[in-house]
């Protein structure tokens, strides 16, 4: 049985008869191939990337596993359509907190249509894409105080300026209720989720090191997906109970182009800027703990 993903925070969502991704109970994510060149481009990228021996093994883990394409019943009731079959990266989590961050100071690229260029540049300028090199596209947090998920509206998220983006990254790793807009996020999970040898920052730095040398692909309009679970950190138990299982995945490859031997400075610059924000939150969190706050 295919169903609408419970934890999707950005992109095309299969609601109200719209075409969007589906998931099964075997940990697979079915993404419909868009009917223009984008769907075909994304499938070709996955095929190329999966077989590319020049991509180091440790980098492959930052990309969803690709299981080919399959005809399945579409979410909009239009019959069987080709879907890419991917790893459902949140299937192993009960109550995952998730954030989608689009990377790069521009989301357009050479040879796009005038219409697409205007659409991209408008959104890039209205959000933090141009100013920061990344923008928060969507996120949801499991709120323990309410035992439910909290998710800001899309128009609110896209309205974030620099301070809004910073606040979102703090809320993402806080234990106090995100609904309380007056209270400052306490960043209670920052050191476990962002920090540590297996945390978000360590993973981002590993990705950055690859992007400093890789010239195979240019990742236009791609996102970093951050996932963790704070249930485990609030439970009493052994060492395993303290692991948030924080992970980073790259997603959305409809606009990937050949690198042609040139470093992807747009993506690399965005990742560096994003890393700086994560580092600042960790350093602030550490200094507050040292000062007894």
The stretch 226-234 carries a mean pLDDT of 77
Who contacts 96 (Cβ-Cβ below 8 Å, separation ≥6)?
7, 90, 142, 227, 228, 229
Please state, rounded to an integer, the average pLDDT across all residues of the chain: 86
The pTM assigned to this predicted structure is: 0.88
The confidence band for 237, taking pLDDT boundaries of 50, 70 and 90, is very low
Whether 131 and 235 share a structural domain: yes
| Predicted pLDDT of residue 12 | 60
CA-based radius of gyration for the chain: 19
Whether 103 and 83 share a structural domain: no
Look at residues 55, 87, 119 and tell me which one is the last residue of a structural domain: 87
Look at residues 35, 58, 87 and tell me which one is the last residue of a structural domain: 87
Question: CA-to-CA distance for 135 and 121, rounded, in angstroms?
Answer: 13
Residue with tokens 């969502």: 13
Q: Tell me the range of 118-132, 209-223, 242-256 where mean pLDDT is highest.
A: 209-223
For residue 74, the enclosing domain spans 22-87
Q: Does residue 15 sit within a domain?
A: no
Q: Does residue 17 sit within a domain?
A: no
| Predicted pLDDT of residue 236 | 45
Cα 176 to Cα 101, 104, 144, 158, 184: the distances in Å are 22, 31, 8, 23, 9
Whether 64 and 100 share a structural domain: no
């Amino acid at each position: 049985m295919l169903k609408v993903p419970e934890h999707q925070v950005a992109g095309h969502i299969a609601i109200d008869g719209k075409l969007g991704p589906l998931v099964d109970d075997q940990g697979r994510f079915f993404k419909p191939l868009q009917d223009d060149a984008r769907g075909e481009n994304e499938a070709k990228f996955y095929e190329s990337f999966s077989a590319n021996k020049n991509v180091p093994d440790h980098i492959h883990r930052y990309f969803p596993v690709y299981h080919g394409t399959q005809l399945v019943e579409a979410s909009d009731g239009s019959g069987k359509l080709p879907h890419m079959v991917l790893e459902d990266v949140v299937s192993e989590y009960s109550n995952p907190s998730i954030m989608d961050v689009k990377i790069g100071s521009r989301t357009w690229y050479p040879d796009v249509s005038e219409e697409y260029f205007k659409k991209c540049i408008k959104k890039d300028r209205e959000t933090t894409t141009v100013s920061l090199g990344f923008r928060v596209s969507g996120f949801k947090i499991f709120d323990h105080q309410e035992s439910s998920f909290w998710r800001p509206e899309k128009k609110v998220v896209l309205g974030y300026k620099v301070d809004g983006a910073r606040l979102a990254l703090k809320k993402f790793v806080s234990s106090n209720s995100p609904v309380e807009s007056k209270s400052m996020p306490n960043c209670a999970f920052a050191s476990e989720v962002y920090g540590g040898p297996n945390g978000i920052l360590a993973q981002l730095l590993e990705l950055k090191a690859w992007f400093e040398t890789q010239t195979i692909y240019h990742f236009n309009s791609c996102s970093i997906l951050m996932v963790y679970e704070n249930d485990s950190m609030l439970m009493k138990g052994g060492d395993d109970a303290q692991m948030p299982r924080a992970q980073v995945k790259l997603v959305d490859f409809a606009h990937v182009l050949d690198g042609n031997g040139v470093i992807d400075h747009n993506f690399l610059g965005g990742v560096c800027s994003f890393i700086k924000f994560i580092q600042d939150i960790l350093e602030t969190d550490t200094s507050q703990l040292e000062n007894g706050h």
